[in-house]
Amino acid sequence: MLSELYQEVILDHGKKPRNFGELASATHQAEGYNTLCGDRVIVQVEMDGETVRNIQFVGAGCAICMASTSMMTSFVKGKSINEIECVFEVFHSAVTGGEADMEPLGDLEALVGVKQYPNRIKCATLGWHALSSAFKSPILEEK
Amino acid sequence: MGSKIDVRAEFPILNQSINGKPLVYLDSAASTQRPNTVLAAMDRFSKTSNANVHRGVHTLSQRATDEFEAARVTVQKFVGADDPAEIIWTKGCTESLNLVAASWGGANLQSGDEILLTNMEHHANIVPWQLIAEKAGAVVRPIPISDDCVVDLQAFRKMVNNRTKVVGIKHVCNATGVVNPVCEMAEIAKSVGAIVVADGAQALAHVPVNVKEFGVDFYAMSSHKVYGPMGVGALYGRRELLEAMPPFMGGGDMIRSVSFGKTTFNEIPNKFEPGTPNVSGVIGFAAALDWYQSVGKEEIWAYENELAQALRNALDQMPGVRTIGKCENQAPVVSFVMDDAHPHDVGTILDSHGVAIRTGHHCCMPLMERLGIPGTSRASFAVYNTNQEINVLIEALKNVVDIFSKC
């Protein structure tokens, strides 16, 4: 069971998160914070209309949180808000143990093992929740 | 191991498997388990003496009241207070500390007054003060600590002044096991006339407690940290202070007379105990203190400190592992961080080995921020732990290292 949770792809993303660091061209951003364990990620997105042109994140957290956020950033680049929200719905259902068609998840399926660990589900969804909030949080230009 | 105490069979909960492995319970700083004696005392009360206290003239009510008040004397003697009326029953440390902040703080704090709290305080000894400070216009300031989580007494001496009204001290740090110099700190606080509010949550089970010798004004206690039930605890308060303080909550049993024109309040401790209390919890709390003393406090401390020291030594041998907090006569709480593994991941992997530890900020976010870490993994000991369990923990930690060195 533990090997389902800590798969190589997750450990790899956890240790070497992709798209990590500030995004200078960001138009939107939001923070995800898990008060229970202190995991914190800030997701920064450069939007081109309804499409994610670029995305990066900063923060610190457990391997599951860092890996999930890293994999999410790779996954959503170039996709529209609609597509992303649909996949998040499937992902959320899969990691919370609901019925889900894994096909649209691609690599993200590796994270589904988290459903065996109810108190770790939040770790896997934190980055996604931050992204959802970011879509609604444009960065206001300072005057 | 030099010391030997075998009480494990008295704790039925420990005899079970978790994830297919024998339970290794190393989370007693969060909550201790309860021996049969405590479970039986509560059960016996429910079966033979259960009735409301301080109310009826019937025999059962008198019996319940007698047991309830006898328990108060047990706690009074345990902490070395002069008078059982100085012991107020509460839900636990959190309520005890809120009572002091709201009641004493509400009546005494004024604009510009200072509340000094050690940088390692539990949120329960920070937030109540912030709430009352905001109302009163008072200021909450942290007392600096070292990288080893030891209070900087010199800095503290310089901080106190005639505006200092409250000094809050966690007697034993739940996150690191560091024991604070309560006596010295109380003396410094007294030199400017401040009251001293000590949080004894982690202390009761692991170090000597004597409120008179410490010179503290208030001392907060939780039963479930010392082999008793959850949801019950006590506050020691110095008589003159308690008598001058307004009630914390209103209700039955805390009044002398009530009319819509005027209500007069009862004497201490009843003034602070409105409503029907958790009587069986109180009985369990006292039974836990009795049990603890009958096994022998000093024998228990020697035994569990040996276990904790054995674990610290073993962790020092592990590359990439660093223990957090260090002092003389440290309590048996071992907090550590691992280079490659986040505490949350450590906790999950250990659980798969049947090992229960606490991971995270331990309700001490200002301490974690001060130490520059997101959280720690914490193994904490009680009298029922064994040397063998340390071996299981170490093997499980090796598994953590294996998993995270894969890539």
- Domain harbouring B134, CATH code: 3.40.640.10
Q: What is the pLDDT of residues A74-92, one digit of tens each?
A: 999 999 999 999 999 999 9
CATH number for position B305: 3.90.1150.10
**Pair (B221, B336) in one structural domain:** no
- Model pTM above 0.90: yes
pLDDT value of residue A142 = 61
Q: Given pLDDT bands bounded at 50, 70 and 90, which one contains residue B55?
A: confident
Cβ–Cβ gap B344/A6 under 8 Å: no
- The domain segmentation of chain A, as residue ranges, is 2-135
**Pair (B47, B12) in one structural domain:** no
Cβ–Cβ gap B352/A2 under 8 Å: yes
Query: Two tokens at A123?
Result: 């770790």
**Pair (B313, B379) in one structural domain:** yes
**Pair (B114, B228) in one structural domain:** yes
Name the phi and psi angles at B320, rounded to 5.
Answer: 80, 10
**Pair (B237, B366) in one structural domain:** no
Interface of A with B (CB under 8 A): 1-2, 5-6, 8, 11-12, 15, 36-39, 60-65, 117, 120, 123
pLDDT value of residue B245 = 97
What is the chain B residue with the closest CA to A66?
B342
Q: For B153-220, give the DSSP string.
A: HHHHHHH--TTEEEEEEESB-TTT-PBP-HHHHHHHHHTTT-EEEEE-TTTTTTS---HHHHT-SEEE
Task: Look up the ipTM and state it.
Answer: 0.91
Asked if residue B97 is part of any domain, the answer here is yes
pLDDT value of residue B406 = 76
CA distance to partner chain A, nearest, from residue B190 (Å):
37
Interface of B with A (CB under 8 A): 340-345, 348-349, 352, 359-361, 365, 368, 374-375, 403-404, 406-407
pLDDT value of residue A101 = 85
Over residues B149-157, mean pLDDT:
98
Can you name the residues that pair with A60 across neighbouring β-strands? A40
Domain count, chain B: 2
Residue A60 has its nearest CB partner, among B374, B403, B404, at: B374
**Chain B neighbors of A2, CB-CB under 8 A:** 348-349, 352, 403
Out of B271, B293, B315, a domain closes at B293
- Provide the percentage of residues in chain B whose pLDDT is more than 70: 99
**Per-residue pLDDT for B299 more than 90?**
yes
What is the chain A residue with the closest CA to B353?
A2
**Per-residue pLDDT for A143 more than 60?**
no
Out of B263, B293, B323, a domain closes at B293
Cβ–Cβ gap B342/A62 under 8 Å: yes
Cβ–Cβ gap A63/B365 under 8 Å: no
**Chain B neighbors of A63, CB-CB under 8 A:** 341-342, 345, 404
Nearest to B123 by CA among B359, B364, B360, B362: B364
Quote the domain boundaries for residue B378: 8-26+297-404
Over residues B124-146, mean pLDDT:
98
pLDDT value of residue B135 = 97
| Three-class SS state of B251 | coil
**Pair (B237, B353) in one structural domain:** no
Asked if residue B181 is part of any domain, the answer here is yes
Out of B235, B270, B293, a domain closes at B293
Over residues B270-283, mean pLDDT:
96
Cβ within 8 Å of residue B214, ≥6 positions away: B182, B183, B186, B196, B198
**Pair (B201, B338) in one structural domain:** no
Query: Two tokens at B305?
Result: 């400190």
| Three-class SS state of A40 | strand
**Pair (B80, B121) in one structural domain:** yes
Domain A2-135 is found in CATH 3.80.10.10? no
CA distance to partner chain B, nearest, from residue A51 (Å):
33
Mean pLDDT of chain B: 96
Cβ–Cβ gap A123/B352 under 8 Å: no
pLDDT value of residue B256 = 87
Residue A61 has its nearest CB partner, among B342, B349, B406, at: B342
**Pair (B314, B235) in one structural domain:** no
Gap between the Cα atoms of B332 and B340, Å rounded? 25
Asked if residue B32 is part of any domain, the answer here is no
Positions of B annotated as catalytic residues are 363
Q: Given pLDDT bands bounded at 50, 70 and 90, which one contains residue A128?
A: very high
pLDDT value of residue B2 = 57
**Chain B neighbors of A37, CB-CB under 8 A:** 343-344, 359-361, 375
**Out of A6-20, B109-123, B252-266, least confident range:** B252-266
Give the distance between the most distant pair of CA atoms in chain A: 53
Over residues B382-404, mean pLDDT:
97
Nearest to A111 by CA among A129, A130, A92, A98: A92
Q: How many helices (H) and strands (E) does chain B have?
A: 14, 17
Q: What is the pLDDT of residues A12-40, one digit of tens each?
A: 999 999 999 999 999 999 999 988 778 99
Q: What is the pLDDT of residues B313-323, one digit of tens each?
A: 999 999 999 99
Over residues B138-167, mean pLDDT:
98
Treating both helix axes as pointing N-terminal to C-terminal, what angle do A63-76 and B343-352 enclose, rounded to 10 degrees? 110
Q: Given pLDDT bands bounded at 50, 70 and 90, which one contains residue B363?
A: very high
**Pair (B289, B328) in one structural domain:** no
Query: Two tokens at B118?
Result: 């050690």
Q: How many helices (H) and strands (E) does chain A have?
A: 5, 3
Over residues B331-335, mean pLDDT:
98
**Pair (B204, B277) in one structural domain:** yes
Cβ–Cβ gap B368/A61 under 8 Å: no
CB atoms closer than 10 angstroms to residue B146: 16
**Pair (B272, B345) in one structural domain:** no
